[in-house]
Amino acid sequence: MPRRTAQEWIRLSLRTPGILIFGLVMAPCGWVLDLTATVAPNWRTISSVQGRPENEIVQQGIFDICIASSTDTRSTCSQEDATYFGNDIIPIAQGLMVASLVITLIGLAVAIPGVRCWRDRPNWVVAGLGGLLIFCSGVLTIIPIAWYTHILSNVTTVTPLTSPSVLQVGYCIVLGYIGGIFEVLGGFVMFIGICRCCGGKNRGEVRVDEVTAGRQFRHQKPPPRRVDVPTLSRPRSAASSVPYSKDSMDEDVSFPRAKSPARSVNTSYSAQPYDADL
């Protein structure tokens, strides 16, 4: 099948295509969630630590460790734990999360010039490359999040993890998953704009021949509607040009007609007539 050229396609409106709007909305939302997951010290929490107060909670992130309390809103951060930061997952997660944040910003900076709605058609190559960068940034976020979740109980720390200690997943893991998925979806949807699929509808385009055929069909006038009029066959009088006669009308009457009374003349008046009576 021969490949169609760009001149054989046309955009019916100057609106920004929906796939580009979707990507530009999802990518910043994912970036904010990833930023929160990176800087917040809550990748996992340890509560009910042996030898410590019962209401004390240890919150561990990839850049900081804080000690909070279930009865107080204040927390003490910048805790030293060389054993925890010495795990292989920590430096790798730090590098991947920071790289994801930087690549997302670069992807947005590349995609925005290609999505300008005041042009006749967007620059699909530039917007698609920006979407590819955003997609890669989402993958870089999901990798350390999934790895850390998988080895959650195997990450060593100076805090004793013996019974009755309770180890739980922090909210940063949830935010990281959601942010990474947002960026993956937004970047992928923007990237498929490079390809003209679904009959060009994914880019808001249609073929020129389809538009021409539609206009020709609209300009064609519909044929006049034929109306059948019933004919009346009545006897025609030879003395008149009308298609009926007085006699024929009398014959059609199926009920007797009332006769008008004859006009009476007063003959008993014998006076001499005057001029006023004439």
pLDDT tens digits, one per residue of 199-213: 566 666 666 555 555
CA dihedral over 89, 93, 94, 99, signed as positive or negative: positive
- Residue 163's pLDDT is what? 76
CB 122 within 8 Å of CB 16: yes
**Ramachandran area for residue 200 (φ above 0: left; ψ -120 to 50: alpha; else beta):** left
- Residue 153's pLDDT is what? 87
Q: Read off the DSSP letter of residue 204.
A: T
Kindly state the average pLDDT of the residues 82-90: 91
Give the H or E element holding residue 206. strand 205-207
* Cα 203 to the center of its chain, rounded Å: 14
CA quadruple 250, 253, 259, 263: dihedral, nearest 10: -40
The pLDDT tens digits for 218-269 are 555 666 777 666 665 655 555 555 555 555 555 555 556 566 666 655 555 5
Cβ neighbour number for residue 64 with a 10 Å cutoff: 15
**Ramachandran area for residue 94 (φ above 0: left; ψ -120 to 50: alpha; else beta):** alpha
Question: What percentage of the chain reaches a pLDDT higher than 90?
Answer: 32
Q: Read off the DSSP letter of residue 278.
A: -
- Residue 200's pLDDT is what? 60
Amino acid at 92: I
Tokens of 57: 């909670």
Rounded to 5 degrees, φ, ψ at 212 are: -65, -45
The partner residues of 46 in beta bridges, in order of sequence, read 58, 167
- Residue 135 CA to residue 29 CA, distance in Å, equals 13
Q: Has residue 177 got a pLDDT over 90?
A: yes
Where do the domains of the chain lie, and which CATH numbers do they carry?
Answer: 11-208 (1.20.140.150)
- Residue 59 CA to residue 44 CA, distance in Å, equals 6
- Residue 254's pLDDT is what? 56
The partner residues of 10 in beta bridges, in order of sequence, read 206
Query: Which position has the higher pLDDT, 190 or 14?
Result: 190
- At residue 273 the predicted structure's pLDDT band, cuts being 50, 70 and 90, is low
CB 170 within 8 Å of CB 43: yes
Global confidence as pTM: 0.67
Q: Read off the DSSP letter of residue 275.
A: G
Angle at 208 between CA 203 and CA 214, to 5 degrees: 105
- Residue 212 CA to residue 12 CA, distance in Å, equals 12
